[in-house]
Amino acid sequence: MANEILSYIERDSVVHRLTGATKLICFLLWSFTAMLTYDTRILLLLVVLGFVLFALSKVKIKDVSFVLAFILLFLVLNNIAIYLFAPQHGTVLYGTSHPITGSIGRYSLTLEQLFYQLNITLKYFAVIPPALLFVVTTQPSEFAASLNRIGVSYRLAYSVSIAMRYIPDVQRDFHTIARAKQARGVDLSRNEKIWTRVKNVSTVLFPLIFSSLDRIETVSNTMDLRGFGRMKKRTWYSYQSFEARDRVAISLSALLFIAMIGLFFLNDGRFYNPF
C-alpha cells in the first residue's frame, strides 16, 4: 500500500466510519462552498476544518505526500502565472490600489493583488484535504452500495466502484512494467538526465495502455457472463446504513454552504473587501 497513490487506506477513524454517500455529499457541499466564495473568513474556516478532519482520519502525511507535493507545485506555478499575466487583477476586483513596491509599471505589487492571490491559495488548501480524504478513506464497494441506497442506479454506482478500484491496479501494473524495463537495461533512476528519463518512462506507457485495455476487456466479459445489469435491483455485500454521525456531517457541511450564501448577500458579491 505504501507504493500506491490515491488508493483506499484502512484506518479506524470517525471519517472512515462515515458512509460513502455521506462523504460524497459532504465533499460536494464543501467544494461548492470553497469554489463559489472569495470570502477570506470562510476560506480560513474551511482550511482549519480541513486539517482537523485530516487529523481525525488518522491518515498520515507521508501516505499522500507525492500527491501533496504535485498539487503544491501546481499551486506555486498557478500563482506565478496569475502575477505574470494579470498583475493588477486584484486592484480591478477591489477597486483600490495600495502599492508596496516602487513603480515598475504594470508589475508594481499591490496589497490588493497579494490579497487576491492569498484567497486563491486558501482555495487550494480548503479543497485539497477533503478531496484526498474522500479518495483514501472510502472503500469502493461500500461507496457503490451507499450510492445505490440514495437512488443512484446500481449500474452507475458499480462503474464508480470499478473506477476507484482501478487506480491501484494501474499503479501496480506501472511498477511491474517499470521493473521489467529496468531489468532490460532501461534506466529510470535519477542517474539519467531529465529528458532521458522522460523518454525512458514513455516506453512504459504503451505496455501499460495495452495491459489496461486487456484488463477492461476481461472485466467486461466477466460481468456479461454473470448477467450483470439484467435485473432492476441487486444486493450488496458491503453496505453501511446511515447513522447519527452521517446526519451530523451532512448538516455541518450544509451549514457551511448556507453560511457562504449568507456572506454572498452580506458582501454584495463573492468577494470580501477589507480595503
3-state secondary structure 175-197: HHHHHHHHHCCCCCCCCCCHHHH
Q: Which residue has the cell 506565478?
A: 80
Cα separation, 252 vs 50, whole angstroms: 13
Determine if the pTM surpasses 0.85.
no
Three cell numbers at 36? Answer: 463559489
Domain layout of the chain by residue ranges: 1-138+244-275, 140-237
Q: In tens digits, what is the pLDDT along the chain, a chain of 275 residues?
A: 444 566 778 888 888 888 888 888 898 899 999 988 888 999 999 999 999 998 898 888 888 888 888 888 989 999 899 888 888 888 888 888 888 876 677 788 888 889 999 999 999 999 988 888 888 888 877 777 777 777 777 777 777 777 777 777 777 787 788 788 778 777 666 676 777 777 777 777 778 888 777 777 787 787 777 777 677 777 666 667 778 888 999 999 999 999 999 888 888 888 888 87
